[in-house]
Every structure is written in structure tokens, then in C-alpha cells.
Amino acid sequence: MTLTEILVSASLLVISASASLQVWASGSRWSLRSEQRLEQQQALEAELLAVQARLQQLAGTPVAGDCEDAADWLVSQLPALQRQGEGVLLRLQAGDGGERQRWYDPAAYGLCNPSAAPLQAPSP
């Protein structure tokens, strides 16, 4: 083998090894980002379920005669909620722009009952 052939073959070996490493690194980065995104989505889902579980605990206990007052009370009990109309909105955001939101109506949980006097709400 001549020196030229050795240099060409060594160059090809270096180029192919470099390209393979770049492809492997790119795949690794994509896999890591995908795993992080999945973890963020699972965290959002856990937060959503925690709020929903708290609402289920409160279900059937009228806290106000007016649903708007019940919505205000919910916002004071669960800071993650925001008032929106007669209901409340839960909006959760992940770091990469992922978002979950859900609208809750206090009447659906029996938190407002115009015909009954409001009971003392359970403490959180």
C-alpha cells in the first residue's frame, strides 16, 4: 500500500466514525428530550388529579348559596384555580410550553345551593 492509499483510507475512517458519532449523539439528545417531556406531562397530570381529588372531597357540601360565591371560595382554598365566569379554571403549564387546563363548575360538585343555608365548609 502506498502512503496515499493509507491517508485516504484513514480519512474515510475518521469521517465515517465522526458521522456515526453525530448520528448517535443526535438520537441520544432526542431520546433525552422525549423523556423529559414525558416526565413533565406526568407531573402535570399528577397536579390535575390532586386538584380533582380535593374537589371530590368537597363535593356535596354547600359552601355558599350563590355559585359565584362558591367559585370565590374555591379559588381561596385552591390557589391553582382562577375565576372564570361562574366557574373556575385550572391551568397548568410545563417548562417546554405544554399546558393542561380544565374548567370546573361549583354547581356540578354541589358547592352552591340557593335553597339551603350554606354549611360550614370543611377545612383543607
Rounded distance, CA 49 to CA 82, Å? 17
Q: Which residue type sits at 86?
A: E
Sheet of 81-84, strands arranged across: 81-84, 87-93, 99-104
Q: What's the mean pLDDT when you consider all of the chain? A: 85
Continuous H helices in 2-103: 3-58, 67-77
What pTM did the predictor assign?
0.66
Q: What is the pLDDT of residues 73-121, one digit of tens each?
A: 989 988 889 998 888 999 888 777 678 889 999 989 888 887 755 455 5
116, 6, 2: which is closest to 61 by C-alpha? 116
Q: Which residue type sits at 1?
A: M
Q: How is 111-123 classified by DSSP, letter by letter?
A: -B-TTSPPPPPPP
Question: In this prediction, what percent of the chain has a pLDDT beyond 70?
Answer: 91
Residues 6+ away with beta carbon under 8 Å from 70: 62, 63, 64, 106, 107, 111, 112
Residue 118: per-residue pLDDT: 47
Residue 116: per-residue pLDDT: 54
Residue 120: per-residue pLDDT: 53
Rounded distance, CA 68 to CA 106, Å? 8
